[in-house]
Amino acid sequence: MFSKKFERRIYIAVAAVMFSGALGVSFGAYVLWPSRREAGYQPVQPIPFSHKLHAGILQIDCLYCHSGAEKGPHALVPPLSTCMNCHAEVQPKDSLGNLRPGIDTLLEHWENKEPIRWNKVHDVADFVYFDHSRHIAGEVTCQECHGPVERMEHVQRTYGLKMSWCLACHKQRLPEGDPAFSEGRTTRGPIHCTACHR
């Protein structure tokens, strides 16, 4: 028979393997949980920011807040200083003279020099390389991928942003008069694997 010391090591090893397995499954479920990658995903945000008001009614250009989209891969969430360009003066109050929900939180974060931790809505898998600036330069509108954000009170994912969806757009044929057509391209975007997977 085995010694008590050896049996104890076996129990510890089995427990460690079971714990590691449970941890791996939990992490995998968190990272790959389908609801985070599906259309309709709408996480709760720290401030009830209305894109309908800002992008729709006030017609603030998407690139004013998400300025990184023109310059590189990430659109970027605006820093508080961008919000305060307007909200240092524009502080809508309710009928009782109280600041509306969200603006008081915004001002509190500004005074405490604390960034707001927004929850990401539009996200592609980590093994996908996506560059906003290439799409902006190719005259792809924000709404083609993000949906009618200017009509959304709270932003939600309109499209799943899966590979088949992206490829369907990339495979669209270019008209013969398109400048890219004269450069030898026949599709709206590249369809080789390394365009998105590097």
Low-confidence ranges of the chain (pLDDT < 70): 1-2, 26-36, 182
pLDDT digits over 121-160, tens only? 998 888 999 999 999 998 899 999 999 999 999 999 999 8
Nearest to residue 120, comparing CAs of 172, 67, 75, 71?
Answer: 75
pLDDT digits over 160-179, tens only? 899 999 999 999 988 877 77
Tabulate helix, strand, coil % of the chain (nearest 5). 45, 0, 50
Integer Cα distance of 43 and 45 in angstroms: 6
- Residue corresponding to tokens 């590691």: 20
Nearest to residue 49, comparing CAs of 5, 102, 123, 97?
Answer: 102
pTM exceeding the 0.95 threshold for the entire prediction: no
